[in-house]
């Protein structure tokens, strides 16, 4: 069953002397774009969260936020000296370049410096954050499961929509086949009448040459191959919708192929009925492609 790239999950919990809140959300993307914002003083947390999300998801623009507060009385705030040095060096360089260009910058305050990420850290009297790391990772699994469930629910809804759209495409293909057969009889009569008119009014006309040209016109307007390919694409799309794992990119490619055949069908139509069916096909295919953009 397909999964959607759209999802959201949030949770709050506490343990190991801290309380926290999670927020995990995603929208569609060509690949997996993962952005994680967590306290950087918990060693190994970001790397392990990134690994767990990457194993569970293959596509989507995913954002994970963790807001955490230490509750233990021994906690205190402390300067991260390397981060402070990097911020001060950057400020010095900015001021130097500004002076070279004749620009005057307002002086930075201590509060400005402390507001930079990583400069001020929460430190616990117990420097070992292993217990907190373990609790957070365990809690994250529950959040990730809820997130995946929402994407699966969205995927089921998408599946129903895409199945219905494929049925519309299949029906229109058969309508096009019937219209092409009706058009064939009309074309045959039209060409026969035209050939007779030419032979009656032009003494020097080469009957075999004229018949050859009319046959070439008939070949150029034949849409049998386009209809066969459209039927094959419908079968392939149905198989993908029933397959396990990410299929969004393959479905997107199929939609491009659907559209290519529909365009060719319209170009070869040479009848109002067939043109109308071709335009209806293009409309359904465009709608289907919009939905496919959100399939993982």
- Domain spans of the chain? 7-152, 155-292
Question: Tell me, what's the pLDDT at 51?
Answer: 97
- 102-136, pLDDT tens digit by residue? 888 888 888 788 778 778 776 654 456 889 999 99
* Mean pLDDT computed over 39-55: 94
Confidence tier at 210 by pLDDT (50, 70, 90): low
**pLDDT, greater one: 72 or 265:** 265
Q: How far apart are CA 280 and CA 45, in angstroms?
A: 52
The residues, any chain, with a CB within 8 Å of residue 222's CB and separated by 6 or more, are: 268
DSSP 140-163: HHHHHHHHHHHHHHHHHHHHHHHH
* Mean pLDDT computed over 14-26: 95
**pLDDT, greater one: 294 or 199:** 294
Confidence tier at 71 by pLDDT (50, 70, 90): confident
Which pair of tokens denotes residue 72? 């233990």
Which pair of tokens denotes residue 154? 């969205």
CB 162 within 8 A of CB 288: yes
**pLDDT, greater one: 274 or 196:** 274
CA distances from 3 to 24, 178, 240, 279, 289 (A): 16, 36, 12, 30, 15
The residues, any chain, with a CB within 8 Å of residue 6's CB and separated by 6 or more, are: 26, 27, 28, 60, 151, 154, 294
142-181: string of b/e by CB count within 10 Å (b at 16+)? ebbebbbebbeebbeebbeebeebbebbbebbebbbebbe
Q: Provide the whole-model pTM.
A: 0.70
Question: Tell me, what's the pLDDT at 73?
Answer: 45
C-alpha dihedral (43, 76, 69, 48), degrees to nearest 10: 0
Question: Tell me, what's the pLDDT at 107?
Answer: 83
* Mean pLDDT computed over 139-150: 97
Residue 252 has pLDDT above 70, yes or no: yes
Question: Tell me, what's the pLDDT at 206?
Answer: 62
What is the Cα Rg of the chain in Å?
A: 33
Q: How far apart are CA 59 and CA 26, in angstroms?
A: 9
What is the average pLDDT score of the chain? Answer: 87
CA distances from 182 to 179, 188, 215, 216, 269 (A): 5, 10, 17, 19, 12
Residue 74 has pLDDT above 70, yes or no: no
Which pair of tokens denotes residue 85? 């040095």
Question: Tell me, what's the pLDDT at 62?
Answer: 97
* Mean pLDDT computed over 194-202: 61
> Of the given ranges (2-6, 61-65, 112-116, 284-288), which has the lowest mean pLDDT?
112-116
């Amino acid at each position: 069953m397909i999964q959607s790239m759209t999802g959201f999950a949030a949770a709050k919990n506490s343990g190991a002397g801290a309380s926290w809140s999670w927020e995990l959300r995603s929208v569609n993307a060509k690949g997996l774009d993962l952005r994680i914002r967590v306290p950087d003083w918990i060693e190994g947390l970001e790397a392990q969260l990134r690994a767990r999300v990457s194993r569970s998801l293959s596509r989507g623009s995913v954002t994970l936020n963790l807001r955490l507060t230490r509750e233990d009385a021994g906690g205190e705030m402390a300067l991260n000296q390397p981060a402070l040095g990097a911020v001060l060096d950057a400020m010095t360089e900015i001021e130097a370049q500004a002076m070279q260009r004749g620009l005057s910058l307002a002086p930075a305050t201590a509060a400005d410096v402390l507001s930079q990420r990583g400069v001020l850290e929460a430190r616990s009297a117990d420097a070992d954050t292993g217990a907190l790391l373990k609790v957070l990772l365990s809690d994250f699994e529950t959040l990730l499961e809820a997130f995946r469930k929402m994407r699966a629910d969205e995927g089921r809804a998408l599946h129903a929509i895409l199945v219905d759209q494929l049925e519309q495409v299949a029906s229109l293909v058969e309508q096009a086949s019937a219209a092409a057969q009706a058009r064939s009889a009309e074309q045959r009569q039209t060409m026969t009448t035209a050939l007779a008119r030419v032979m009656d009014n032009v003494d020097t006309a080469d009957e075999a040459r004229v018949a050859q040209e009319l046959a070439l016109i008939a070949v150029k307007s034949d849409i049998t191959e386009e209809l066969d390919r459209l039927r094959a694409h419908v079968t392939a799309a149905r198989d993908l919708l029933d397959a396990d794992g990410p299929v969004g990119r393959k479905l997107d490619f199929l939609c491009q192929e659907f559209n290519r055949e529909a365009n060719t069908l319209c170009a070869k139509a040479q009848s109002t009925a067939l043109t109308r069916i071709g335009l209806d096909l293009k409309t359904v295919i465009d709608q289907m492609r919009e939905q496919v953009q959100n399939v993982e």
